[in-house]
Amino acid sequence: MLAYASPLRNQQGAVVVMHDVTEIRRLERVRRDFVANVSHELRTPVSIIRANAETLLDGAIEKPEVARRFLDAQLRSADRLAALVADLLEISRIEAGTYEISPDEIELEPIVAHTIDEVERLAQEKHIEITSDVPEDMTVWADEQALEQVLLNLIDNAVKYTPTGGKIVVRAKKRDDMVRIEVEDNGPGIEARHRARVFERFYRVDKGRSREVGGTGLGLAIVKHLAEAMEGQVGVEPAEPQGSLFWLTLPAASD
Ligand code: ADP
């Protein structure tokens, strides 16, 4: 509570105005945490790049067999920085309201097929089979670019977190005036206590694992923002008998 009190001029007593500032304080804390998280996330790859450059200059450059290792780590850190900066720009663009959402009637099946193609190489490397079960005539009311980005994040996560030999299914069903798109994998799944939080910025179940697969911790936060901007919703449930089922609802395109 924030209280302002003024004494009354000619009488005893005072006027007190009280504001409930819970929400303002919560937002301030979220912002502070976000800045602290961003700084921390940026610091790690920068220090690896710096330390390796120093080691190379100190003489490692003369030994090609070790030099390659240091350069390789630098390249991976630079990629990580690039991914982080790209996701941060995306989040700030969405939050500042400069990400223009222009919804239109979109055929779902070709977009799903195209998105699966984008992750196909990584899926093949891990012998993961991705199947699409989306009716050919299904249409949604969505922004094409935003929808593609949402699907790519969800399918890419499924490929990243599902172990070798796994299976992923992308399906869509119509329910009243909404379309529900599901991305189901048979990977490790997400425990209930983490499930509600994975859409928060930088929330990761296993930090080490996320770093290993090149994650930034921002993908699902972007997904949630974009889904909501398109008047949709997202969520995650456990898959049966094992795995995760991420779902997205969007308005169906009506006549
Ligand atoms: P990241 O860049 O770390 O993948 P995301 O925001 O995309 O960040 O996801 C947040 C976290 O949710 C991940 O770090 C991971 O722990 C968990 N997660 C996301 N998708 C899956 C999935 N399909 N299976 C298991 N865990 C997942």
In this predicted structure, the answer to whether residue 255 has a pLDDT above a threshold of 70 is no
Given a contact cutoff of 8 angstroms between Cβ atoms, the answer to whether 177 and 140 are in contact is no
Average confidence (pLDDT) over 23-46: 91
Taking CA atoms only, the protein residue closest to ligand 1 atom 13 is 204
Q: What is the DSSP string of 60-108?
A: GGG-HHHHHHHHHHHHHHHHHHHHHHHHHHHHHHHHTT-S----EEEEH
C-alpha of residue 150 to centroid of ligand 1, in Å: 13
pLDDT of residue 116: 97
Q: By the 8 A CB rule, do 168 and 130 touch?
A: yes
Instruction: Establish whether residue 45 lines the binding site of ligand 1, counting it when its CB lies within 6 angstroms of any ligand atom.
Output: no
What is the pLDDT, as a whole number, of residue 242? 95
Q: Check residue 80 and give its pLDDT.
A: 92
Which has the closest alpha carbon to 150: 178, 168, 170?
170
CATH of domain 22-96: 1.10.287.130
- Backbone dihedral angles phi then psi of residue 130, each to the nearest 5 degrees: -115, 125
Whether 133 has a pLDDT exceeding 90, the answer reads yes
Q: Is the CB of 83 under 6 A from ligand 1?
A: no
Task: Tell me if the pTM is above 0.85.
Answer: yes
pLDDT of residue 212: 82
- Position 227 pLDDT exceeds 80: yes
Question: Which tens digits make up the pLDDT trace of 73-128?
Answer: 999 999 999 999 999 999 988 888 888 889 999 999 999 999 999 999 999 999 99
pLDDT at 148 exceeding the cut of 90: yes
CA of 160 to the centre of ligand 1 (A): 8
Q: Is 210 in the pocket of ligand 1 (CB under 6 A)?
A: yes
Superfamily of domain covering 104-251: Histidine kinase-like ATPase, C-terminal domain (3.30.565.10)
Residue nearest to atom 3 of ligand 1 (CA): 217
User: Does residue 204 line the site of ligand 1, with CB under 6 A?
Assistant: yes
The domain segmentation of the chain, as residue ranges, is: 22-96, 104-251
pLDDT value for 96: 84
How far is the centre of ligand 1, averaged over its atoms, from the C-alpha of 215 (Å)?
8
Stretch 37-66: mean pLDDT: 94
Topology alike, domains 22-96 and 104-251: no
Distance 10 CA to ligand 1 centre (A): 64
Split at pLDDT 50, 70, 90, the class of 254 is confident
How remote is the CA of residue 189 from the centroid of ligand 1, in Å? 10
Question: Is the pLDDT confidence value at 253 over 60?
Answer: yes
- Distance (angstroms) between ligand 1 centre and the Cα of 254 equals 33
Residue 205 near ligand 1, beta carbon < 6 Å: yes
> Closest by alpha carbon to 97, among 233, 225, 232, 223?
225
Instruction: State yes or no: pLDDT of 149 exceeds 60.
Output: yes
Report the separation in Å between the CA atom of 238 and the middle of ligand 1, taken as the mean of its atom positions.
14
pLDDT digits (tens, 9 = 90+) for 172-219: 999 989 999 999 999 999 999 999 899 999 999 998 888 888 889 999
Instruction: Assess whether the C-beta atom of 216 lies below 6 angstroms from ligand 1.
Output: yes
The pLDDT assigned to 190 comes to: 97
Q: What is the mean pLDDT of the chain?
A: 94
User: Is the beta carbon of 154 within 6 A of some atom in ligand 1?
Assistant: no
